[in-house]
Amino acid sequence: MGVSATALLAVTALSSTATAAPADKPQVLSSWTQTTASSYNAFIAARNNQGAWSAYGFNWTTDYCSTSPDNPLGFKFELPCARHDFGYRNYKAIGTFDANKARLDSALYEDLKRVCAPMSTVPKAACNSLAWTYYQAVKALG
């Protein structure tokens, strides 16, 4: 009886470990939610290969720009909004949202400005104005 109880505990411990998210989940999450272009690009690569990250249990769901247009005036804001949702959902899940919200909102703004950057003067000004508006909205309401 003692041997089988010990074996049961060992199997239970192994199965619990196998289903737990890797210990570096907060570091990976942080690396994908910084304000830099390299962080954004790493997130997009991971998003395109979500299966490789399944052990982490990340929430990849998105409603893109929520109730705001995803492509206002034709500006492609979907992916920046998807990364913003990713950060919000996953930091809430691990209980550290409040400590990270300001950076997530700033990352959204930087991502939106990157969408605008290659445009010519007039559309770029309109795009940057919308980026600022989206940033102010998430800062206040997000």
In a domain, 133, yes or no: yes
The tens digit of pLDDT for each residue in 51-90 reads 999 999 999 999 999 999 999 999 999 999 999 999 999 9
Expressed as residue numbers, the domain containing 37 is 22-141
**Two structure tokens written together for 36:** 């830099």
Q: What is the DSSP string of 60-100?
A: ----TTTTS-SSGGG---HHHHHHHHHHHHHHHHHT-HHHH
Active site residue 53: no
In a domain, 11, yes or no: no
In a domain, 65, yes or no: yes
CB count within 10 Å of CB 117 equals 11
Q: Which residues, 6+ apart, have CB-to-CB distance to 44 below 8 Å? A: 79, 83
The tens digit of pLDDT for each residue in 115-134 reads 999 999 999 999 999 999 99
Catalytic pick from 34, 62, 84, 131?
84
Question: For the chain, what is the domain count?
Answer: 1
In a domain, 2, yes or no: no
**Banded pLDDT at 19 (limits 50, 70, 90):** low
In a domain, 75, yes or no: yes
In a domain, 4, yes or no: no
Where would I find the H helices in the chain?
A: 2-19, 25-31, 37-47, 78-94, 97-116, 121-141
In a domain, 1, yes or no: no
The CATH number given to whatever domain includes residue 47 is 1.20.90.10
Rounded Cα gap, residues 62 and 68, in angstroms: 13
